[in-house]
Structure 1
């Protein structure tokens, strides 16, 4: 099995960290920008420790904490584009430096990114789990008509902001609407190719069952759209109950031919928790996600496997043991101490501040004002 081991659920892990060391009602998960709150509130050592815990459990690629970062929503909070860019940059550079200084040397032998910059769907602007809503009750549809002008403007802002970080790869995660993916592709098509010549893109969907996404859109039709766009290197399945992933892969396997240019990535939910309408409930006696990997790999070549909701660093360690057929593991990079991470963070902050002083954040205030005007005119809030 040659798949790359990815990380697990950042939000899940941070939530556990704060529940184990809770002070009062302090939490960084159940409001606003979720994992990115650690960066906003300058809890950078905590963020670095979470990334490091996945590395210590043999993650070979890390995802950033940008998933919930809706730039228009963040600007309403901070009112400063340079500050926003600085925070975005720090959240990328922390896992990037961790992989650079402490990551497995095998990463240099592969073109697979060491860090994915995560970008959620426009549902993150509303901050209320709309990525799990059917299009019939989704705010991006008014009387059955898709709000393409607003969505196009939104992704222009998101994409240009994240490209300005000069990442290896941007992974657009947890998409469920066919029309929204078309809007994203339009924005990518409109960008001059030299703007992202050294950046690759991936897109992942969240599946309600083996046939449709949570938005009620046909999975195979979305896969075909993404493949034919020729804009993406990776196609992912994330935030999905692992039991249904095999049937999804079987459907996609009919397109796994010379005309398909996509590498498959899976970031499954843990397995003992199932989500309905964005709410979790326990599934007794369920198989865990890492128990499905042999089955998945027999259906299609899988480029990377990791976890989403419920998947902690120790679960990634179990995936590592499963992959290598071993009973126990020695913690990877156990010699790395908190002082090392503090030094790394100081370097990241210094380098990011220097970059911020001479690099444009990628968008202008007038872009945001135009977006807010569209939202107001279309009564989207």
Structure 2
């Protein structure tokens, strides 16, 4: 596979050179056509997805949920691609400009990163989201998905590449690796001659493996050990709605809530009814000693490991805290810097929470499930970055560019 991977890298570099000079109108036409092609080829895409699902019937339900495509999910992917087409093109935009002491006219302008590699697990929507965002931002993309989604990813790639061919654009702007082995993934992580940046999407285990093994620069997307803190002034009905949505709507994804913190002054009044609703929704409840005393033997004792665990499942750990300060301290110690929420009617507490919590997205009175490129108006996302360099939070088009300085003179030399 080494020679084949080298060839894929060369092809991507050649495609990236052409994409960097492609007009916005041309890119938008291709994206709109790709969206329509997803709809037209829906039956074939679902057939490929069914092959993957049949082969993955022994996987946990949370993986099956990520892997499964439906007509509705394909339509969402198509709509996301169409939304990307309507967004401003970041390529060529000027960050700033000035004239220096020597009379040089200096402009800092956005340009594509070049060749982007994506390593991800059994989430076929990433194939389309990443391809759309990379294409619009002028980048070629090499996609290495998990083996569980191989047939689906290959079909999605083929559909998009056919559109590129129809529009006489470089088909190698989008390439899906057909060998999902760990050895090939490791070689991709070290394809420094051709890859400009590598972005992992998936479990904490996958992300850390990429961070540790890659020699290509990595933009780290993060696991989501997300918290909801219910303050002493919270509206109970609002808090219940937010918690049930954040935990139960789609527990397998990284922006779902994994931990609930409740102020001790309201715990006895708030938690019993909430616990009944969560149990009715099928959620397993774990708790600290105070929660166990309050809610009884149905609560699974929380271990030290629970506070650092991303479940991606219908499991929730609950902790009673004495203050806002204690809640913030717990979040900053155990969170993954992804998404955190406070439910409160106290303005000062909400502003302090926004300022003091160290995370990519911090909410007041809203579900963590909103941390998503589509929900933020980006059309899609390349991932949710939890690091602090270059990009943080849902990564859209601007985060897939870098800058270069264009300097115009009329014969100046440095003295």
Shorter-chain TM-score bucket reads: under 0.3
> Which structure: larger Rg?
2
TM-score of the pair, normalised by structure 1: 0.27
TM-score of the pair, normalised by structure 2: 0.26
